[in-house]
């Protein structure tokens, strides 16, 4: 016996019952984005490694620990995409989208890859749906983004959702604060985890995200950027909050919020679901006014988010598969298969869902199969071309005219 193979660690097959949930989510997202004037964009599943090193940031967990990076046969370093924003900004620059009317509003959905420890809601291949509005610094765009994700989660009836909101200020204004934070962290260096201590220079903000006890205690009294927003940054954040208040979207201000990518500026946000345990973040995003320029484009303000599809599906519970079949076509002993095929085709062309037994079952077995696939009616084709229509719920059966099947159903 040959040894059996399994899907790689942290990956999974989406079997037909689960595929229904993905399809429902995709449909909800498509409808929402079409109504809001967002265009679908698809970028490659792998990119040059440098895109993520520059776009996500060398000092982030994603780049340091989580990327699936490989060399192709030409010796180029490629990486399976761990996130969608850097690739979309790469495409924005590559296709000169800054020459279009701004902002360019895009949405996407697809697989992403991160080398993490697999657990419930955390996988090595997972799916995200996301959106970006590139080429605007208006607080209206921040608010619209947050509203879109809020609406998507509401439409899908994700329970127990809360929104955390913060602001990182603009890159320039942040510099001074980061120096203050570094000084504070150095003062407490011995109480910090080694990882955080090692990154005091490169990425001090990440200390807010650490989960070891020592670092957490230090961070509880650390200086917070949210309390130090000034000038245009403060005005921008106040405008976003006012718009959310006006739209009736509740949020918690969170001065310890940081995001896993270096490129965020100003508004940042996360949606959490209280049903999900440790992996509670269903989606998050924010403004990234420096990223397009970092990738060789003109200075371009932008805002976006991504949500984890598996986490949303976990939160809403797998939706029951819908009965797919209106009519099951069964063959009585001695009936002509070609006649059944012709009826099947006629029904499907007329927009009905119809199935024919492909398993060589007896009539009794076919009726059982019709029940299994949730058929409401079964058309039993008899020798000579007559047919019986059976209501699967009541068991009632009546003869129908062979030429009037569609009308009779």
Contact residues: ligand ATP, CB under 6 A: 83, 114, 116, 121-123, 126, 128, 260, 279, 281-284, 306-308, 310-311
Name the 3-class secondary structure at 17.
Answer: helix
Tell me whether residue 124 or residue 390 sits nearer to ligand ATP (CB atom): 124
Residues whose CB falls within 8 Å of the CB of residue 282, separated by 6 or more in sequence, listed in order:
153, 158, 161, 271, 272, 273, 276, 307, 308, 311, 312, 315
Task: State in angstroms the smallest separation of the CB of 276 from ligand ATP.
Answer: 9
Task: State in angstroms the smallest separation of the CB of 249 from ligand ATP.
Answer: 18
Tell me whether residue 128 or residue 369 sits nearer to ligand ATP (CB atom): 128
Yes or no: say if 285 and 88 are a contact pair by the CB < 8 Å rule: no
Q: How far is CA 142 from CA 65, 103, 251, 361, in A?
A: 30, 12, 14, 59
Task: State in angstroms the smallest separation of the CB of 199 from ligand ATP.
Answer: 16
Yes or no: say if 168 and 208 are a contact pair by the CB < 8 Å rule: no
Task: State in angstroms the smallest separation of the CB of 296 from ligand ATP.
Answer: 23
Task: State in angstroms the smallest separation of the CB of 322 from ligand ATP.
Answer: 26
Tell me whether residue 33 or residue 123 sits nearer to ligand ATP (CB atom): 123
- Between CA 5 and CA 305 the distance in angstroms is 36
Task: State in angstroms the smallest separation of the CB of 6 from ligand ATP.
Answer: 19
Tell me whether residue 141 or residue 309 sits nearer to ligand ATP (CB atom): 309
Task: State in angstroms the smallest separation of the CB of 272 from ligand ATP.
Answer: 9
- Between CA 329 and CA 183 the distance in angstroms is 76
Yes or no: say if 236 and 173 are a contact pair by the CB < 8 Å rule: no
Tell me whether residue 11 or residue 102 sits nearer to ligand ATP (CB atom): 11
Q: What are phi and psi of 302, to 5 degrees?
A: -160, 160
Tell me whether residue 126 or residue 328 sits nearer to ligand ATP (CB atom): 126
Task: State in angstroms the smallest separation of the CB of 14 from ligand ATP.
Answer: 13
Yes or no: say if 112 and 81 are a contact pair by the CB < 8 Å rule: yes
Residue nearest ligand ATP by beta-carbon distance: 308
Tell me whether residue 32 or residue 56 sits nearer to ligand ATP (CB atom): 56
Task: State in angstroms the smallest separation of the CB of 185 from ligand ATP.
Answer: 21
302-308 sheet: strands from edge to edge: 39-40, 104-113, 125-134, 302-308, 281-287, 265-273, 161-167, 252-253
- Between CA 113 and CA 364 the distance in angstroms is 48
Tell me whether residue 302 or residue 380 sits nearer to ligand ATP (CB atom): 302
Task: State in angstroms the smallest separation of the CB of 307 from ligand ATP.
Answer: 6
Strands 327-331 and 377-381: parallel
Task: State in angstroms the smallest separation of the CB of 82 from ligand ATP.
Answer: 8
Name the 3-class secondary structure at 332.
Answer: coil
Tell me whether residue 120 or residue 238 sits nearer to ligand ATP (CB atom): 120
Tell me whether residue 281 or residue 386 sits nearer to ligand ATP (CB atom): 281
Helix (H) / strand (E) element for 286: namely strand 281-287
Can you name the residues that pair with 133 across neighbouring β-strands?
105, 303
Q: What are phi and psi of 406, to 5 degrees?
A: -60, -45
- Between CA 63 and CA 52 the distance in angstroms is 7
Whether omega for the bond prior to residue 403 falls within 30 degrees of 0, making it cis, is no
What does the buried/exposed string (b/e) look like for 58-91 if buried means 16 or more CB atoms within 10 Å of the residue's CB? ebbbbbeebbeeeeeeeeeebbbbbbbbbbbbbb
Tell me whether residue 123 or residue 328 sits nearer to ligand ATP (CB atom): 123
């Amino acid at each position: 016996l040959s040894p059996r193979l399994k899907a790689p660690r942290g990956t999974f097959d989406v079997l037909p019952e689960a595929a229904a949930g993905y399809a429902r989510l995709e449909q909800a997202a498509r409808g929402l984005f079409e109504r809001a004037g967002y265009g679908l964009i698809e970028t490659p599943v792998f990119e040059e490694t440098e895109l993520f090193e520059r776009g996500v940031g060398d000092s982030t967990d994603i780049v340091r620990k989580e990327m699936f990076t490989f060399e192709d046969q030409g010796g180029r370093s490629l990486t399976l995409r761990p996130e969608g924003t850097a690739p979309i900004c790469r495409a924005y620059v590559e296709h000169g989208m800054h020459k279009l009317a701004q902002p360019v509003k895009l949405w996407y959905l697809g697989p992403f890859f991160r080398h993490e420890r697999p657990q419930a809601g955390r996988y090595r291949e997972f799916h995200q749906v996301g959106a970006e509005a590139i080429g605007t610094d208006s607080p209206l765009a921040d608010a619209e983004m947050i509203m879109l994700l809020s609406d998507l989660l509401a439409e899908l009836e994700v329970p127990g959702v809360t929104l955390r909101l913060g602001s990182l200020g603009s890159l320039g204004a942040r510099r001074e604060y980061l120096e203050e934070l570094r000084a504070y962290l150095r003062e407490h260096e011995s109480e910090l985890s080694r990882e955080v201590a090692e990154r005091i220079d490169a990425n001090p903000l990440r200390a807010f995200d650490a989960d070891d006890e020592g670092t957490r205690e230090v961070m509880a009294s650390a200086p917070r950027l949210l309390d130090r927003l000034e000038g245009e940054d403060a005005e921008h954040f106040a405008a976003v909050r006012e718009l959310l208040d006006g739209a009736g979207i509740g949020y918690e201000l969170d001065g310890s919020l940081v995001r896993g990518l270096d490129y965020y500026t100003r508004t940042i946000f996360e949606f959490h679901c209280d049903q999900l345990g440790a992996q509670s973040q269903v989606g998050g995003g924010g403004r990234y006014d420096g990223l397009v320029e970092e990738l060789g484009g003109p200075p371009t303000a932008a805002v976006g988010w991504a949500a984890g599809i598996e986490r949303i599906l976990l939160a809403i519970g797998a939706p029951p598969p819908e009965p797919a079949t209106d009519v099951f076509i069964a063959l009585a002993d001695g009936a002509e298969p070609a006649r059944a095929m012709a009826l099947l085709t006629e029904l499907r062309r007329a927009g009905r869902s119809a199935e024919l037994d492909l398993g060589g079952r007896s009539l009794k077995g076919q009726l059982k199969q019709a029940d299994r696939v949730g058929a409401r009616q079964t058309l039993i084709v008899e020798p000579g071309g007559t047919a019986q229509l059976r209501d699967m719920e009541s068991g009632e059966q009546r003869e129908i005219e062979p030429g009037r099947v569609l009308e009779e159903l």
